[in-house]
Amino acid sequence: MAPLISRRLLSLIFVIFSITFLTFIVGSLAPGDPILVMMGPRRDPAIYENLRHQYGLDLPWWQQYFNYVGGLLHGDLGMSYRYQGRSVNEILGGGVGVSISLGFAALAVSLLIGIPLGILAALRQNSWFDRTSMITMLALFSIPTFVMIPILRAFNYYVLYKNGLPSLPPAGWGTPAHWVLPVIVLAAVSMGYMARLTRSSMLETLRQDYIRTANAKGLPQRRVVGVHALRNALLPIVTVIGPAMAFLVTGSFVVESLFAIPGVGFIGVQAISQRDYPVIQGTTVVLAVAVVVMNLVTDILYTVLDPRIKSEG
């Protein structure tokens, strides 16, 4: 496994540098001067020049890039253009914990509901339960986030709040109740996907010869499904956890913005609209690291579930 990890770590460095370079080039080619955005329509030309100098924007682009990479090697993501005297590390620092915990909660919910639902549906193939649950899962998978949020909020307001039932805060962050709606929305897509994938993978596995053998041996159904079938049926699920995390990351941009949750996605969206390039670059680097690390974790899990893969590593 060691060569696998070291190879991945090497590729991580490559990925991060490509990403910083691309965001940097796009940023410097894009129209709109960040200092102009900062200062607004009225300004003093002298202060404008002064600020450009402070942020090193008067240097040639390659020099700016090398300065940036130099800082990156020291773990310094630079200073925000938008927030006076605040570093990107500090701005993103608070957001990373929020996004990670929200992402894992959503992943946990989608796995804890999606997998059992898929297994049950497979065991009762073509039953009433199978059809309705799979249609629901298909709906969850297909409804765009920005449609689901107003539906949930309307439900929360008209059905719960208006009738004096305990309702949920429709936005914000802080108490455990604030987690519920965003976790549902974030989990919905991957839950739908997981459930459907588990079902088909389980059906596939249940048709295998060794399951027939296990049944013929007279093993209890619980053991046949829970041990022999499940372990093999889960392999494809593990494969999609990586992409599912990527889904959660992209989903977080919308979900965090609409729920006013101070995570990385929320900070990133704001930075884009304000041309706060250092924060945009910082967000991209952090997310890229997250995706690469998740893929690495997936690969390791894979070898645990299927020992044959280890030898190929």
The answer to whether 95 and 264 have CB atoms below 8 angstroms apart is: yes
C-beta of 191 vs 229, nearer to other proteins: 191
Closest distance to other proteins from the beta carbon of 33 (Å): 7
Closest distance to other proteins from the beta carbon of 6 (Å): 28
Closest distance to other proteins from the beta carbon of 22 (Å): 21
C-beta of 57 vs 100, nearer to other proteins: 100
Task: Show the 3-state SS of the chain.
Answer: CHHHHHHHHHHHHHHHHHHHHHHHHHHHHCCCCHHHHHHCCCCCHHHHHHHHHHCCCCCCHHHHHHHHHHHHHCCCCCECCCCCCCEHHHHHHHHHHHHHHHHHHHHHHHHHHHHHHHHHHHHCCCCHHHHHHHHHHHHHHHCCHHHHHHHHHHHHHHHHHCCCCCCCCCCCCCCCHHHHHHHHHHHHHHHHHHHHHHHHHHHHHHCCHHHHHHHHCCCCHHHHHHHHHHHHHCHHHHHHHHHHHHHHHHHHHHHHHHHCCCCHHHHHHHHHHCCCHHHHHHHHHHHHHHHHHHHHHHHHHHHHHCHHHHHHC
- Give residue 277's identity as a one-letter amino acid code: Y
C-beta of 113 vs 230, nearer to other proteins: 113
C-beta of 199 vs 228, nearer to other proteins: 199
Any bridge partners for residue 79, and if so which? 87
C-beta of 1 vs 260, nearer to other proteins: 260
Closest distance to other proteins from the beta carbon of 268 (Å): 11
Closest distance to other proteins from the beta carbon of 182 (Å): 9
Measured CA angle at 229 (ends 294, 183), to 5 deg: 40
C-beta of 172 vs 220, nearer to other proteins: 172
Closest distance to other proteins from the beta carbon of 302 (Å): 24
C-beta of 81 vs 302, nearer to other proteins: 81
Closest distance to other proteins from the beta carbon of 168 (Å): 8
Any bridge partners for residue 87, and if so which? 79
The CA dihedral of 49, 54, 55, 60, to the nearest 10 degrees, is 70
Closest distance to other proteins from the beta carbon of 289 (Å): 17
Closest distance to other proteins from the beta carbon of 149 (Å): 9
C-beta of 62 vs 157, nearer to other proteins: 157
C-beta of 273 vs 311, nearer to other proteins: 273
